[in-house]
Structure 1
């Protein structure tokens, strides 16, 4: 791509917020791709606001394709500038699994410095949805399997929760200030052992423009309708990494859904385990993949 824009004068131009909505790449990442890596060069208004043409958006989509194949962002520009006929290579074998292994090793060693480096690197180089799908969720899945019979499991879990609560909490705070989207309440079911699943879904929801109200501890079911009313929430999403008691799933959740005037979604491993128990209820089973769960919930809210 040349340094100077070559867009026709009559071509439509899009502000950064609209480009973020169209591509799923947040504005912070778009600016980083421009300033740090020179991957895109939007036009500027007299006041310095960025304006993107259609070919800029297509270029962003090509950047995402390379990143999703595991190519480091520092190498993407060279690949983008190759002729379009160049065949796209397969992902580097073992790239995402290797990154996950590094993350898991840092957590098991309680190496917060390494964890900080890996987390920041991922969030800077890849879209949030890619980080969640390729790294964070598989990491939590693997760790929860190991934690079943491992000395020090509680220490590792609480350390990771504290780390993510701080980093994701900061992102949620700033995103909520800038967001004009609907409010989403996210909480935990009574027997859930930690906050990993609700933190991941909160990050995915914030990325999609929701204002997120996240509760660290489970609220009594009797107070959840009041929370929905007072926060003017568009939906309530409850999470758990455990199966939960049959009474909670088969009686309390359906009863709660009947009391609400907004959708009630169930997310996390509990949604996969208890799916059949909720087939005839108003509870929406969202699965345990964060971006997919938010997409399903969005369809309900927009309906």
Structure 2
């Protein structure tokens, strides 16, 4: 039997009485939107507790937009090579981080961000750079940089990235990616040289995309801390040479992939060759934290708010490795 629904349809979704007119979707529609078959969606709920859809009185599942975003997030982790049994732990950590600070994550703000995301999505699908530029200016005038990139633009960028197999979305993603890379480079050049202390940011080769690295550099920087982003493809083994020349206050290594088995050994060996501390950031940071416990490598997460705070605490000597 297929899942049925209660209430009138709204823009392809459904409404359930008593749930504040929230837009809800049956499992077959969620399957169509995400490409995940209903059997797998049910397994993620029953076996791993990854999703908790609303139930009708007759027991049929109804998914909110937040549930759908959670499904896409789960899919993104699995496509990166993380076992589905481990995804729940990652999502739980992300949920805690997103609660910092609570005043930023108010429900009203989340709704506003989703509206801006919808505008960005439409402008991208129309390949309308003028409109995208206009939106970029409006969003930047309304929110701090962390919200602009992490909570508005990057989720849309990730959405197009994950669906490049659909006709047209590869071109749409490239259009948005090119636009945002230009703006992050511009923003980085504007802030360069205004701060005293310098931190180097380098990606583990092949483990993140250029825009992710540039955004991380912007979010890590402060008025008194300049972040210099090294080119994508920078060999990990040659970072000691670069640090010897530049003499940064710290080196941040960045990765959004599940850590390889030899990553802790490589990072520990790198730390021995440097005169500055080494930190690991990005999605790999949370996954490698246990294997790096007790080492000189500090893990500072992937959320912009948490990364910046942990970096400052570490440099001030208040963060344990």
TM-score interval, smaller chain: 0.5 to 0.7
2:239 is the alignment partner of 1:243? no
Q: Summarize the alignment of residues 176-215 of structure 1 with structure 2, pairs less than 5 Å apart.
A: 176-179=192-195, 181-215=196-230
**Does the aligned pair in 2 maintain the 1:103–1:118 contact within 8 Å?**
yes
**Does the aligned pair in 1 maintain the 2:219–2:304 contact within 8 Å?**
yes
The count of aligned residue pairs is 216
Greater relative contact order (Cα 8 A, min sep 6): structure 1 or 2?
Answer: 1
Partner of 1:166: 182
Q: Report the Cα distance in structure 1 between the residues aligned to 2:132 and 2:258, rounded to whole angstroms.
A: 29
**Does the aligned pair in 2 maintain the 1:263–1:300 contact within 8 Å?**
no
Q: Report the Cα distance in structure 2 between the residues aligned to 1:214 and 1:114, rounded to whole angstroms.
A: 29
**Does the aligned pair in 2 maintain the 1:132–1:290 contact within 8 Å?**
no
Picking from 270, 279, 291, the partner of 2:284 is 270
Partner of 2:305: 291
Q: Report the Cα distance in structure 2 between the residues aligned to 1:283 and 1:157, rounded to whole angstroms.
A: 34
1:149-199 Cα offsets, whole Å, 9 max, x none, are: 4455654444434322322222222212332x2111112111225112211
2:107 is the alignment partner of 1:103? no
1:98-149 Cα offsets, whole Å, 9 max, x none, are: 21232234345543233222222111222223324432343345444444x4
Q: 1:140 to 1:278 in 2, by over 3 A?
A: farther
**Does the aligned pair in 1 maintain the 2:207–2:255 contact within 8 Å?**
yes
Unpaired stretches in structure 2, ≥5 consecutive residues: 1-100
Partner of 1:230: 245
1:248-293 Cα offsets, whole Å, 9 max, x none, are: x232122212322322222222223333332243222111111210
**TM-score after normalising by structure 1:** 0.61
**Does the aligned pair in 1 maintain the 2:280–2:300 contact within 8 Å?**
yes
Partner of 2:155: 138
Q: 1:166 to 1:222 in 2, by over 3 A?
A: same
Computed over aligned residues only, the root mean square deviation of the Cα atoms, in angstroms, reads 2.9
Q: Report the Cα distance in structure 2 between the residues aligned to 1:241 and 1:156, rounded to whole angstroms.
A: 22
Unpaired stretches in structure 1, ≥5 consecutive residues: 1-64, 71-89
Partner of 2:315: 301
Q: Summarize the alignment of residues 56-95 of structure 1 with structure 2, pairs less than 5 Å apart.
A: 68=104, 91=108, 94-95=111-112
**TM-score after normalising by structure 2:** 0.58
**Does the aligned pair in 2 maintain the 1:161–1:194 contact within 8 Å?**
no
Determine helix, strand or coil for the equivalent of 1:270: helix
Determine helix, strand or coil for the equivalent of 1:178: coil
Q: Report the Cα distance in structure 2 between the residues aligned to 1:226 and 1:154, rounded to whole angstroms.
A: 38
